[in-house]
């Protein structure tokens, strides 16, 4: 394990046939330890901002958020920092918001939906993010996008916030990229349209699996039905990734599958060139990329799309990758 870290943690992820894959970091706090990941990653592919709102009685102020976003952006310099706007609800609860009980919170008023209902919260976060944008390479992405309406509404908020800041004479970068998380099947299937309206996509395989398989990702009673290798999931990822690639837009995978040894191979073969993961998966993924020819990854992905069960996929991948895992 230590040998793996020593050899691969900071090694550029390039396949033997010369294709580079960006290995980015999933960040969920700004502790000194988590920011250590800045040393060995190509950026932040997923900056979960929920921690700012959790375990407290009041909402974080614009100033407070600005300071933290600035810190992370500064730390990563030219490398992208992909800030995900508030993704609360479902599995993620907040003390500072008295949210009503819902029978089906994962299908309820969560994430972007909640931000639309509480423009004060959404605007405060966007203002803080845009103000911080001058300190680095900021990408902003919206979670739980289900429709084109969601995209247009979110972009409208951004336009208003930018106009407001301009009116106040407050500087922000003109290069901030806007993107969406693809974690609901409906938007994966409409990704060709979505790709024309945003700069990038990041595929959240944790929720995409939950919503595709109709399995609560937290309920142990049904965990056997949460099949990350189900070919249906790979077909959706294929559709979404292809749409963004065909439109010349960046696509990342920031769910667990991106840092999974078998999963990452398929994602590479489907054209994904950015994988974002927790720090614990970085070394093994850099090793995988360095040992897997892209030509082989493409073959592997094509084969997976012809299989019919999760078990077949897992068996096939274990066999196909046995020499390099």
Binding site for Mg ion (CB under 5 A): 183, 204, 207
Cβ neighbors of 51 (< 8 A, separation 6 or more) are 28, 29
Residue 221 DSSP one-character state = G
Interface with ligand PEP, residue 34, by CB under 6 A:
no
Q: Is 243 exposed, middle or buried (0-12, 13-18, 19+ CB in 10 A)?
A: buried
Q: Which stretch binds ligand PEP (CB under 6 A): 33-41, 200-208, 235-243, 310-318?
A: 200-208
The minimum distance between CB 204 and ligand PEP, in angstroms, equals 3
Among left, alpha and beta (phi > 0; psi -120 to 50; other), residue 88 is beta
**255 forms part of the interface with ligand PEP (CB under 6 A):** yes
Secondary structure of residue 222 in the 3-state scheme: helix
Please tell me whether residue 183 binds ligand PEP under the rule CB under 6 A: yes
Contact 272/201 with Cβ under 8 angstroms? no
Query: Does the protein bind ligand PEP through residue 109 (CB under 6 A)?
Result: no
Q: How far is the CB of 90 from ligand PEP (least distance, A)?
A: 8
Q: Is 205 in the site for ligand PEP (CB under 6 A)?
A: yes
Per residue, what are the HEC states of 39-107?
HCCCCEEEEECHHHCCCCCCCCCHHHHHHHHHHHHHHHCCCEEEEECCCCECCECCCCCCCCCCCCHHH
Q: Can you tell me which of 21, 46, 81, 129 binds ligand PEP, judged by CB under 6 A?
A: 46
Q: Which of 13, 48, 52, 216 binds ligand PEP (CB under 6 A)?
A: 48
290 binds ligand PEP (CB under 6 A): no
Give CA angle at 276 (150, 142), nearest 5°. 15
Buried b (16+ CB within 10 A) or exposed e, 115-124: bbebeebbbb
**Residue closer to Mg ion (CB basis): 208 or 289:** 208
Smallest separation, CB 26 to ligand PEP (Å): 7
Least Å distance, CB 87 to ligand PEP, is 6
Sketch the per residue contact string, 70 through 89, with ligand PEP: x for CB under 6 A, - otherwise: -----------------x--
Q: Spell out the residues 6+ positions from residue 248 whose beta carbon is closer than 8 angstroms to its own.
A: none
How far apart are CB 207 and ligand PEP at their closest, in Å? 3
Selected from 59, 112, 129, 254, the binder of ligand PEP by CB under 6 A is 254
DSSP 262-299: HHHHHHHHTT--EEEE-GGGHHHHHHHHHHS-HHHHHH
Q: What, of Mg ion, ligand PEP, none, does residue 254 touch, CB below 5 to 8 Å by kind?
A: ligand PEP
Write down the least CB distance from residue 207 to Mg ion, Å. 4
Which among 11-19, 198-206, 279-287, 297-305 is the span making contact with ligand PEP, rule CB under 6 A? Answer: 198-206
Q: Is 258 in the site for ligand PEP (CB under 6 A)?
A: no
Query: What are 140's strand-pairing partners?
Result: 83, 178
**Number of Cα atoms under 13 Å in the Cβ half of residue 63:** 0
Interaction between residue 24 and ligand PEP (CB under 6 A): no
Nearest approach in angstroms of CB 16 to ligand PEP is: 29
Whose Cβ is closer to ligand PEP: residue 25's or residue 254's?
254
Structural contact between residues 235 and 185, judged by C-beta atoms closer than 8 angstroms: no
Which residues lie near ligand PEP (CB under 6 A)?
46, 48, 87, 183, 204-207, 254-255
């Amino acid at each position: 394990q230590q040998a793996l870290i020593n050899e691969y943690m900071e090694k550029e992820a390039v396949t033997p046939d010369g294709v580079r894959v960006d290995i980015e970091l999933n960040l969920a706090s700004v502790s000194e330890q988590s920011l250590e990941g800045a040393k060995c990653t190509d950026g932040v592919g997923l900056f979960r901002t929920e921690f700012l709102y959790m375990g407290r009685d009041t909402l974080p102020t614009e100033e407070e958020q600005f300071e933290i976003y600035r810190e992370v952006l500064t730390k990563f310099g030219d490398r992208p920092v992909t800030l995900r706007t508030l993704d609360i609800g479902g599995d993620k609860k907040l003390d500072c918001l008295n949210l009503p009980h819902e029978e089906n919170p994962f299908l309820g008023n969560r994430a972007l939906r909640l931000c639309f209902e509480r423009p004060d919260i959404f605007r405060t976060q966007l203002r803080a993010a845009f103000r911080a944008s001058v300190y680095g390479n900021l990408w902003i992405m919206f979670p739980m996008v289900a429709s084109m309406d969601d995209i247009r509404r979110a972009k409208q908020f951004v336009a208003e916030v930018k106009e407001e800041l301009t009116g106040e004479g407050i500087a922000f970068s003109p290069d901030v990229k806007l993107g969406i998380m693809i974690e609901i099947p409906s938007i994966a299937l409409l990704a060709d349209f979505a790709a024309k309206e945003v700069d990038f996509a990041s595929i959240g395989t944790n929720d995409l699996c939950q919503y595709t398989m109709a399995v609560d990702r937290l309920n142990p009673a049904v965990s056997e039905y949460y099949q990350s290798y189900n070919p249906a999931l790979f077909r959706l990822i294929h559709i979404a990734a292809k749409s963004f690639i065909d439109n010349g837009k960046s696509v990342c995978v920031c769910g667990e599958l991106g840092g999974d040894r078998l999963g990452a191979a398929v994602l590479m073969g489907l054209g994904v060139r950015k994988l974002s993961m927790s720090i614990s998966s970085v070394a093994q993924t850099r090793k995988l990329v360095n040992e897997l020819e892209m030509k082989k990854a493409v073959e592997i992905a094509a084969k997976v799309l012809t299989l019919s069960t999760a078990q077949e996929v897992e068996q096939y991948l274990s066999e196909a990758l046995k020499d390099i895992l």
